Amino acid sequence: MNPNRRMLVVGIFFILMLCATLYRLADIQLIHTESFSKKGVNLVQESVNQRTQEVVIDDGRGRFVDRNGESIQKHAEPSLVLFPFLKETSWPAEELSKIVNISSDELKGLVSGTKEPVVLSKDDGLRLTKAELEKINELEIPGVFGIYRQTLLDESLGEHIIGITGENAERLREKYPDRTDLSYKTKIGVTGLEKAFDEFLLPDAETKLLYHVDGDGHPLFGINVKYIADSNPFYPVTVQTTIDKNIQEMAEKVLDKQKVEKGGLVLLDIENNEILSMVSRPTLNRSESTTLTNYMLQPLFPGSVFKTVISAAAIEYGLDDATRQFNCSLNLYGEDDGGQDDGQLSFERSFAKSCNYTFTTLAEELMEKDKNVIENTADKLGLIGPAGWSGEVFHYENFKQLPDEKTGNIWGDEKDKSVAKAIDQTAIGQKNVKITPLAIANMMATIARGGQKEQIKIVKNILYKNGTNMFSFTSNSLGGEELSPITASKLQKLLRLVVTDPEGTGRRFQTSSFEVSGKSGTAQTGKKDENGHTLYNKWFAGYFPSSNPRYALVVVEMDTTSAEAGTNAAFYDVAEEMSKIDERKN
């Protein structure tokens, strides 16, 4: 190549590189200073942040309270704030010492070796009253403040219910393109109610104390600390859930006591079809993705709990002949394999003792009458479709309170409806049958109400900051066909017989303070433990008190050996505790 031409090419290359560099600098300093990169970084604000030190009092995100208005996860913690520039001034540490009961030398020592504000609260052994906070602020010491700071409660409750938040700048901009006021560090809901109500919970502004410093951390504009507060009277909002904080705490302790490591429970207020408590295990751990799943909203093998559906269908099709006897010494396929020895049982006693053969026989007879009878009956009981509240909320036409809730399933293949063994396995809640614990709790509540099925609520109201109502969630019908009151009444008797029959699978509840009605279930999961033992899902689902139902409860322990399951014990304990709670109310 000609030397002159080579120099020309090199020169053009360097000119292009210089232009690219100049454009990059212009982009950073002039063009996209307030929305740089896909994250939408505000470079001007970040530059200011590098020259400030701050204490965030409240991040401005909305919060959750229980049905009685008590905070579920956050509360205002009395705290003492000391800014580091105190070490360069003469300040009356002795006066502060008298109020906070910390020596003046210790107070001075706290700020002597730090460049960041020091915040002391209960976790540091400092317990301050409202009056003491007022005395601290009356001293008017620059750099010393007594504040109420939003912090997480010592013991978080309902972690799977509330869910988690996280930083995801790209997702934030994609989800809220019009909210250019939001910092790229703004947290958004990832799971649970944090996810469902994210748009309502987004912060309007932070409440914080801040001051400006130079590169060495020295005051840049004197020792004045600015208090920046959100003056909006409407935000942040408060989401009032249907959860009862005391009941939720009790339920979590019961599962811990009974060593339910995987599974959980759902407790409903039958009258309003509201969730009083919902617990999922294992406990939520952000660093382990497998713990983020709320199993109460996931379809699981229900086992013999599903016989309630077959019973309902049998009643509606007139197959519940009280005089008919079933040979319950046969297995589910009608074979005499020596595994059963219950002899001849009526329909009612078959339900109480959970005889497989009775319900596989009835299922085959029902399928001859109607190929869709099982799923149609399950739908009448609110088992298949999502049971959680959905409806119109402002511009949302189909807002869901529980967006993580999955739908149930009955059949894996339409051809199975013509295969006897597939029908038999389906009848006892195996094969492809999977139902969420939430839906099973809803089935029990539906039966207890006489067949009336409703959507399940977990949130009652969204409240503005000033306490006025932003939105209230009405009670909605679940839609579709319902069980006849006669069928529901007969199911109520069957569920009670499970407990009252001397050989019923729920006979241990005969000593419960409440009269309990319910159904047990044991479902094979297809898994084995390290010792080769078969693992099951163990259930007990029901309601109480039987004569005047107020609570529907389902407890499930997953992947457990039958002998180790704490399901029935956990159900029993929760019923006992609810009895005590009702006594205190009265």
What span, in angstroms and rounded, lies between the C-alpha atoms of 169 and 182? Answer: 10
Spans of the chain below 70 pLDDT: 1-5, 8-11, 13, 19-52, 154-155, 213-224
List Cα–Cα distances, 106 to 11, 110, 360, in angstroms. Answer: 65, 6, 76
Amino acid at position 300, single letter: L
Length of the chain: 586
Coil/strand/helix, residue 255: helix
387 neighbors 393 (Cβ within 8 angstroms): no
Query: Which residue, 436, 483, 475, 440, is CA-closest to 456?
Result: 475
DSSP secondary structure of 80-102: EEE-GGGGGS---HHHHHHHHT-
> Parallel, antiparallel, or unpaired: how do β-strands 144-152 and 74-82 relate?
antiparallel
Structure tokens at 194: 């944090």
pTM value is: 0.86
With the C-alpha atoms ordered 443, 449, 452, 455, is the resulting torsion angle positive or negative?
negative
What span, in angstroms and rounded, lies between the C-alpha atoms of 537 and 559? Answer: 6
List Cα–Cα distances, 67 to 151, 247, 269, 276, in angstroms. Answer: 21, 11, 12, 9
Render pLDDT for 241-286 as a digit per residue (tens, 0 to 9). 999 999 999 999 999 999 999 999 999 999 999 999 999 999 998 8
**Domain range 245-585, its CATH number among 3.50.50.60, 3.30.70.1880, 3.30.360.10, 3.40.710.10:** 3.40.710.10
170 neighbors 38 (Cβ within 8 angstroms): yes
Write down the domain spans for the chain.
Answer: 51-73+153-241, 76-151, 245-585
Beta bridge partners of 256: none
Tell me phi and psi for residue 483, to 5 degrees.
Answer: -65, 150
Q: Just list the catalytic residues.
A: 304
Please report, rounded to a whole number, the percentage of residues in the chain having pLDDT higher than 70. Answer: 90
**Which residues touch 410 (CB under 8 Å, ≥6 apart)?**
374, 375, 378, 384, 426, 432, 433
Query: For residues 301-326, b (16+ Cβ closer than 10 Å) or e, as one string?
Result: bbbbbbbbbbbbbbbbeebbeeeeeb
Q: What's 409's DSSP letter?
A: B
Beta bridge partners of 55: 209
Name the H helices within 27-92. 43-50
Cis peptide before 502 (omega within 30 of 0): no
What span, in angstroms and rounded, lies between the C-alpha atoms of 404 and 373? Answer: 28
304 neighbors 428 (Cβ within 8 angstroms): yes
**Which residues touch 188 (CB under 8 Å, ≥6 apart)?**
165, 166, 167, 168, 171, 172, 175, 198, 202
Query: Which residue, 175, 107, 115, is CA-closest to 144?
Result: 107
SS (H, E, C) 136-191: HHHCCCCCEEEEEEEEECCCCCCHHHHCCEEECHHHHHHHCCCCCCCCCCCEEECC
Render pLDDT for 337-355 as a digit per residue (tens, 0 to 9). 878 888 999 999 999 999 9
Helix, strand, coil % in the chain, rounded to nearest 5:
40, 25, 40
Q: What is the CATH code of the structural domain delimited by 51-73+153-241?
A: 3.90.1310
SS (H, E, C) 285-332: CCCCHHHHCCHHHCCECCHHHHHHHHHHHHHHCCCCCCCCEEECCCCC
Question: What was the pLDDT predicted at 194?
Answer: 95
Q: What's 473's DSSP letter?
A: P
Coil/strand/helix, residue 450: coil
What span, in angstroms and rounded, lies between the C-alpha atoms of 278 and 296? Answer: 7
Tell me phi and psi for residue 43, to 5 degrees.
Answer: -65, -35
What span, in angstroms and rounded, lies between the C-alpha atoms of 514 and 549? Answer: 10
Q: How many C-beta atoms lie closer than 10 Å to residue 75's C-beta?
A: 15
Vertex 388: Cα angle to 386 and 392 (nearest 5): 105
Tell me phi and psi for residue 127, to 5 degrees.
Answer: -120, 110
Question: What was the pLDDT predicted at 200?
Answer: 95
What span, in angstroms and rounded, lies between the C-alpha atoms of 256 and 445? Answer: 25
What span, in angstroms and rounded, lies between the C-alpha atoms of 139 and 145? Answer: 9
